[in-house]
Amino acid sequence: MPYEKTKTINCAIYTRKSTDEGLEVDFNTLDAQREACEAYIASQRGEGWRVLKQRYDDGGFSGGSMERPALKRLMQDIKAGHVDIVVVYKIDRLTRSLMDFAKLVDVFDAHNVTFVSVTQSFNTTTSMGRLTLNVLLSFAQFEREVSAERIRDKIAASKKKGMWMGGVPPLGYKVEKRQLLLDPPNMPLAQRIFKDYLKLGSVVDLKEGLDNEGITSPVRLTAKGNARGGRPFSRGALHHMLRNPIYNGKIRHKDETYDGQHTALIEDDLWQAVQDKLDTQAAFRQGEVKKVKSKALLKGLIYMPEGILYTPTRTKKGKTSYRYYTSQELLNKRDHPSAALGRLPAHEVEQHLLKGLRKELTKDEALYSWLGLDPMMDRDMAQHIRKHIEVLGEGLVKCLKRVEVHSKKLVATVSIASYAQLIAQRLDVNVEAMVDEAQVDISYYVRRAYKGTVIIKPTSKTAQTLDSLPQVQLQNLVRGIVWRDEHFAGMTIKAIAEREGLSEAGIRKIIMGSFDQLASLYSQ
């Protein structure tokens, strides 16, 4: 009987740890995970399994995000056909997100790759195996969200006691042993900024005066030894500073302020006078109407999916001028494409894109994974960016590398390095790009009007989720998971109920029903 050679099956081992703690030792948790996976693969040597020499180790990266360098390399090697089986110690090492896992499995299936967990036995080629994996991932995601909620509660309780919870110390303060202390060398400048604003009555004039004297923000070193600061104060940074209650001896948490354990740098009278002046200026600005000269913000950046560039064009009706982005296909062939994407109203596209960018670039993944903020220590900084993202204005367009117009979404490629630099300049926030670039999807729907004009409006996030359901019978399960995620992210049950057109009791019933259903499946 002729000898049949066993087919070689290439096994890629993926390991992950959420924090950097302990990774400096000779034998760390990543090594322990890899050792267990190698032992499992060795037990399957008779089936032709062998370990790839390439290591896929992500140390210090959360399982709630796909922005991990080793995971990206693994996906590239899978698509290149170098991997047959992905081996992990536990499922949650690969991802803790149900939605992300679904994306990974789609890639695995497309390239005939099998998924193996050393401590959990699954077969991803069967529907029951997939369901079991999804159930376990739902619990892993729930565990991560409960941990995050526990951290948020701890931060809230600490701030009620007036404790400093980390981040970049304000001008005039320094941090020693996690305590916020006065910084004598920079105290006079901080006090001067408050006094000068009260005298000038304008942040613009305040900035101009500081720039004329060559006064810049102090140079600070990050934990990685990188220098930050040393730049002229931006208007956004000055405004944030004048509104920061830390200078008045307070600690802010969301919309509440509490007496801090640190020493106030600005006395009550001066602080209150500055706040009153800022409130007056804000009320005045709300009544202003500014006319800004129209310009093509996306010139050279916006394309059709086929790579055809959109060109800024104008039409005029009477005294009114209308701006569009028109595809080169339409301009050259003089024939409108069948997809109704030949001509886009410029203002609508620009405003919808900017609004979508502000939303996507202030999500947890963008702030904590792409910009490297610490979820526990830098929540105030993240909240500051979210609150003042409007200050960046059209400057966000300078962070764009490319925008593609698809039938139901705009796909924007963003330079995270440029985004980090813009935040540092405009908001004076110490951030660092952890990835070179990222893609964000901004949903919309189109309505074709006369001669191909397209009206762009946002779609419902929930509707999109329901459209992608694999099976109708899982609808309430998935809806419960989606609404639970939104509720954990800060959305109230009442807001969800109003959006969905259901009662609050109905929303709670579906959410709790999803927990019961998952628990029932898990116990089988």
Q: Is 325 exposed, middle or buried (0-12, 13-18, 19+ CB in 10 A)?
A: buried
Tokens 């893609």 belong to: 439
Select the CATH number that applies to the domain covering 161-286 from these four: 3.40.47.10, 3.30.420.40, 3.40.50.720, 3.90.1750.20. 3.90.1750.20
What is the token pair recorded at 201?
């009555």
31 within 8 A of 77, measured Cβ to Cβ: no
**Pairwise CA distance, residues 112 & 78, whole Å:** 9
Residue 459 carries which side chain, given as an amino acid letter? T
**255 SS3 class:** coil
- Cα three-residue angle 245-250-253, rounded to 5 degrees: 80
511 within 8 A of 480, measured Cβ to Cβ: yes
Residue 473 carries which side chain, given as an amino acid letter? Q
What is the token pair recorded at 445?
């729907």
CA separation (Å) from 293 to 246, 290, 321, 325? 39, 10, 12, 17
Select the CATH number that applies to the domain covering 9-148 from these four: 3.40.980.10, 3.40.50.1390, 3.30.70.3000, 3.55.50.30. 3.40.50.1390
Nearest residue to 340 via CA among 442, 456, 447 = 447
pLDDT per residue as tens, the chain (524 positions): 455 556 889 999 999 988 777 777 777 888 888 898 898 888 888 888 999 989 999 988 887 778 889 999 999 999 999 999 999 988 778 877 666 776 787 788 888 888 888 877 665 545 666 666 666 666 666 766 676 677 777 777 878 888 877 777 888 898 888 788 999 999 999 999 999 998 888 888 898 889 899 988 888 776 666 777 788 888 778 888 898 898 998 888 777 888 888 899 999 899 999 888 887 766 544 444 344 344 788 888 888 888 888 888 887 767 777 788 888 777 766 555 444 467 788 888 888 888 888 888 888 888 888 887 776 667 777 888 888 788 788 888 888 989 988 877 888 999 888 888 888 777 767 777 778 888 888 887 654 443 444 444 444 443 343 344 344 445 676 677 667 666 655 678 888 888 878 888 888 887 776 655 554 443 34
Alpha helices (runs of H) in 468-503, residue ranges in sequence order: 475-488, 493-500
**Pairwise CA distance, residues 313 & 327, whole Å:** 10
What is the token pair recorded at 377?
């220590």
